[in-house]
Amino acid sequence: MKVDPAVRESRESAPRARFARLLGMHVVEREWREASGQHVAGVWLGRLPEGWFVFHDVPAGERGATIEQVVIGPSGVFTITTKNLSGSIRVNPRSIVHDGHRTSFLPKASDEARRTASLLSSAVDRDIHVRGLLAILADEWIVRELPPDVYVGGPRSVKHWMFKQPPILRSSDVIVLAAAASRPETWTTDPRLHPASAAT
C-alpha cells in the first residue's frame, strides 16, 4: 500500500524524537519547532534551485497580517504556511484537526493563496493561479484524504512535492512575477497603487 509522504516522514522522525527526549537531547525537529520567521524557512527550504524565488513575511494580510512565504518558480506560485506542533494531526478534505481540535489552518491557507493570486494578478495584469501549501511538523499523522486546493504534509514532503510539480511557467514569466512580488505596492489592496490599474 502506498504511504503518504507526510505519514512516512512522521513515522521516520517520531522514533528519533522520542528517543532523544528520553536522553534529554535536542534533535532537528525540536530546533525547527523553536525557530521562527525567516529562520524556519531557511531550515527546511534550504537553498532553492536555480530559477526559484522566495519572499518572506509578505505583508499581504489585513491588520498587519503577513504571509510567511511566497515561492515563485517554473512549477508556479505557492504560498507556504508553516506549523511547529507536538501531538497528532488528522487531515481531512475540508479540515485539519490537531489533538482532537478542529483548526483554522486550512481556510487560512486557502485565503492566503486566493489573496496572493488576486494581488499578483492585478500587478501583472493577467490571471495568476496560486497554490496554498501547509508544512506541518507533528508527532503523529492521520491522512484520511488530502484537501483538493491545499497540499498538506511534513516540511520535507512539501518541499519535494513543490519542486517536483511539472513546469507551467516560462523563465520570463517567473522573472516578471518575481519582480512584481518584490515591489511593496503589489501587496496593497489599494488599486490606485497597482501599475496595471494605473495604466488603464
Number of domains present in the structure of the chain: 1
Asked if residue 175 belongs to a domain, the reply is yes
Asked if residue 96 belongs to a domain, the reply is yes
- Show pLDDT as tens, one digit a residue, over the chain (200 residues): 444 555 455 444 444 444 334 333 334 444 445 444 445 555 678 788 999 999 988 987 666 778 999 999 999 999 999 998 889 999 999 999 999 999 999 999 999 999 999 999 999 999 999 999 999 989 999 999 999 999 999 998 999 999 999 999 999 999 999 999 999 999 986 555 444 444 43
Asked if residue 14 belongs to a domain, the reply is yes
Would you tell me how many other CB atoms lie within 10 Å of the CB of residue 190? 8
Match 512539501 to its residue by C-alpha cell.
158
Asked if residue 103 belongs to a domain, the reply is yes
Asked if residue 78 belongs to a domain, the reply is yes
Sort residue 171 into left (φ over 0), alpha (ψ -120 to 50) or beta.
Answer: alpha
DSSP assignment of 101-128 equals EE-SHHHHHHHHHHHHHHHHHHHHTS--
Asked if residue 189 belongs to a domain, the reply is no
0.85 surpassed by pTM: no
Asked if residue 23 belongs to a domain, the reply is yes
Asked if residue 76 belongs to a domain, the reply is yes
Structural domain of residue 169, as residue ranges? 5-183
Q: Which residues contact 171 (CB under 8 A, 6 or more apart)?
A: 51, 74
